[in-house]
Amino acid sequence: MNATAKMLEGVSALQGLRVVEMGQLIAGPFAAKTLGDFGADVIKIEAPGSGDPLRNWRKILDGTSVWWQVQSRNKRSIAIDLRDEEGQALARQLIAQADVLIENFRPGTLEGWGMDYATLAKDNPGLIMLRISGYGQTGPYRDLPGFGAIGEAMGGLRHLTGETGRVPVRCGISIGDTLAALHGTIGVLTALYHRKVNGGQGQVIDVALHEAVFNVMESLLPEYSAFGEVREPGGSALPGIAPSNAYRCADGVVLIAGNGDSIFKRLMTAIGRDDLGNDPTLADNAGRVARVVELDAAIEAWTQSRTVADVLKVLGEAKVPAGRVYTAKDIAEDPHYRARDMILKQVTRDGHEIEVPGIVPKLSATPGSVRSSAPRLGDDTDAVLAELGLAAEAIAALRARNVVA
């Protein structure tokens, strides 16, 4: 190990980066969590008394959501009343010392508090401001309220989920919010690179929920543009790609992706259908799509008489991508997850040990880590304000006036 490598040993990739998070619920906080996992100092501003509503979403353990424990690890919590002018002044002081500001309020909210980008950039020209909203900061819909579910619908995803002729279904999680968060994180890292390498100033990153969803919709729009074709729901299949579907087994369901040309031949050999594997009309995807109903029937005729374990064993030996449908219990018991540190034990600040998802992606030299558990509301108010130079007496006075908590 050379001297430079030894000096950097144990250094986090984003160590020294200061992030102020003014978001709540999912999109903004997930982006901040991602940066925090890799070493950024994330200061989360919450409303005194109530805090982020996510603290009370879904399953509650000892008064706090277990989801909160994942979403807010590696963060510090400061409770400031942003509707109070003194509170706004404190927030501006924090932002003046930050590299990144993340917010996911409705457009115009920060402007109403005197925290538009132009004003903030006067004190901090290098500030990178990530703004996540339903429809973006511009356009005719900008002032409409928008949650992840609406973004999924407008982005085209919801129309494709479920089965033709039935009400579209959700995918089970708030995927629109998370996609927006990941696009926002990419934007932050891109802007940081520009600032450092190209000597650029800070800038605003504008992420709309529906645009983040639309960006991953593959050939949805080009197909409509070129052919006038509106893609329809495919149920458990992947329309236009064959064979790729969920197939019933004797004791459950298995997913099989036999849509590569050579993979298809191996799949057909494995299920005893070399007649299909050697059929020249099925040698490419276009030919297989034309006969997808026949192929799905042939595959399921083979899987239905076998257990999931048997199917996976045979297809694994044939090097055909296949897998069973995992529940939370399956994930928790799977040795591969644990071998890759994708299930971590985390102790909450109330003393409960819970298992939480690990950190993605895996960096070889500067891996992410859980440095601190999710904070209680205002756990770090005094420490953060002291870093701004406020004396204990001044902090106590602000608390007495309900500006901070």
Which of 106, 112, 119, 133 is closest to 202 using CA atoms? 119
DSSP structure string for 237-293: S-TTSSSEEEEE-SSSEEEEE--SHHHHHHHHHHTT-HHHHT-GGGSSHHHHHHTHH
Distance CA 73, CA 375 (A): 7
Residue 397, token pair as written in the block: 């006075």
User: Residues with Cβ < 8 Å from 264, sequence gap 6 or more?
Assistant: 243, 258, 277, 282, 288
**H or E element: which one contains 128?**
strand 128-133
177 has catalytic annotation: yes
DSSP letter for 25, please. S
Task: Tell me the H-state helices in 127-218.
Answer: 148-154, 157-160, 175-197, 209-214
CA atoms within 13 A on the CB side of 210: 17
Distance CA 161, CA 211 (A): 18
**Per annotation, catalytic residue among 177, 206, 296, 380:** 177
Ramachandran sector of residue 272 (left: φ over 0; alpha: ψ -120 to 50; beta: rest)? left
Phi, psi of 373 (to 5 degrees): -80, 170
Phi, psi of 324 (to 5 degrees): -90, 170
* Strand partners for 322: 256
Tell me the torsion sign for CA atoms 42, 45, 49, 52. Answer: negative
Q: Please name the amino acid found at residue 239.
A: P
Distances (CA, A) of 182 to 26, 212, 309: 11, 9, 35
Q: For residue 171, how far is the Cα from the chain centroid?
A: 14
Which of 182, 146, 80, 178 is closest to 405 using CA atoms? 80
Query: What's the Rg (C-alpha) of the chain?
Result: 25
Residue 395, token pair as written in the block: 């902090």
Residue 399 has a CB neighbour count (10 Å cut-off) of 17
Residues with active-site annotation: 177
